[in-house]
Copies of this chain bind each other. A is one copy, B any other.
Amino acid sequence: MRLRVDLVPQEGLSYADVVLVVDVIRATTTASAFLEAGARELYLTALRESARSFKDHDVVLAGEEGGLRPAGFDYGNSPREALEAAVGGKTVVMSTTNGTKAAHLAARTAKHVLLASLYNAHAAARLAHDLASEEVAVLCAGKEGRIGLDDTYTAGVLAEFLQIMGGYDLEDGALTALATRRTYPDPTEPLHLSAAAQALRQVGLEEDVTFCAQIAASPAVPLLEGRVGEALIFRRGQRNGSQSQIPTL
């Protein structure tokens, strides 16, 4: 089995099998937190206007604009807030910047797309390992086309869990992510050093970074199960389940 890590999304990347999309500060952490809070499903849309178009349905809108809740949205992109949100049995429409774009890039070609973070790292690695037949890829969202230390570090944690589970051939990106993981034993350090954390600090949301630095605290792994229009539909992935390839709704 191959383990591949792409540290920054690029047009033209294509995936053969399973992709773990990582935007640890904060989209993929928040996605797990909404599932933990009981959300039935998540719609990921790259466009805020597209998110607003769901507003006449019985959905909850969550997202960010410069780190903050956009006008007309019910929630921001805070995992602390998501965990306490009244979303039991509901559809949450999420629109974030980097994480959503990376998920859409992965969904173009991958057989299975999962949203991974430190928060659900163990469960996400486990599910990816179960679903994969030839390759597990980690696609880091980065920040506006640049590599993120936070996402690279998270990819290293996922790579470490995957290595424990089975024999993986590691390519250069995976070795780099593992090196980053090994350099920082305490996850709060690389997360707080990252550009993503600096941006949150400027809008007073530094506590979210501390939340995002928890490793393997949640078993909730968002798994791509279909599409509705431009939005990707994620539901909670089950181990040993009968998840099939992505249907188009």
Contacts and interface: CB of A to CB of B under 8 A. Distances in A.
Interface stretch (A69-77, A123-131, A170-178): A170-178
Contacts of A178: 183
A241 B217 CA distance: 57
A145 to B, nearest CB: 6
Interface in A177-215: 178-180, 182-184, 190, 193-195
Interface string A144-184: 01111110100000000000000000011101101110111
A173 B195 CA distance: 10
- Which bucket holds chain A's interface residue count? 20 to 34
Which of A12, A143, A150, A152 has the most C-beta atoms of chain B within 10 angstroms of its own C-beta? A152
- Give the copy number: 2
A176 B12 contact: no
A172 B145 contact: no
Interface string A108-152: 000000000000000000000000000000000001011111101
Most buried by B among A176, A184, A190: A176
Contact of A152 (B171, B172, B184): B172
A10 interface: yes
A130 to B, nearest CB: 26
A153 to B, nearest CB: 9
A149 B176 CA distance: 6
A194 B179 CA distance: 13
A7 B176 contact: yes
Contacts of A190: 175
Contacts of A173: 146-147
A179 B183 CA distance: 6
Contacts of A83: none
18 contacts: A7-B7, A8-B10, A143-B172, A146-B171, A146-B172, A146-B173, A147-B172, A147-B173, A147-B176, A149-B175, A149-B176, A171-B195, A175-B180, A176-B176, A178-B183, A179-B180, A179-B182, A180-B180
Q: Lowest 9 CB-CB distances: which A-B pairs, in order?
A: A179-B183, A149-B172, A179-B180, A147-B173, A149-B175, A152-B176, A148-B172, A179-B179, A172-B195
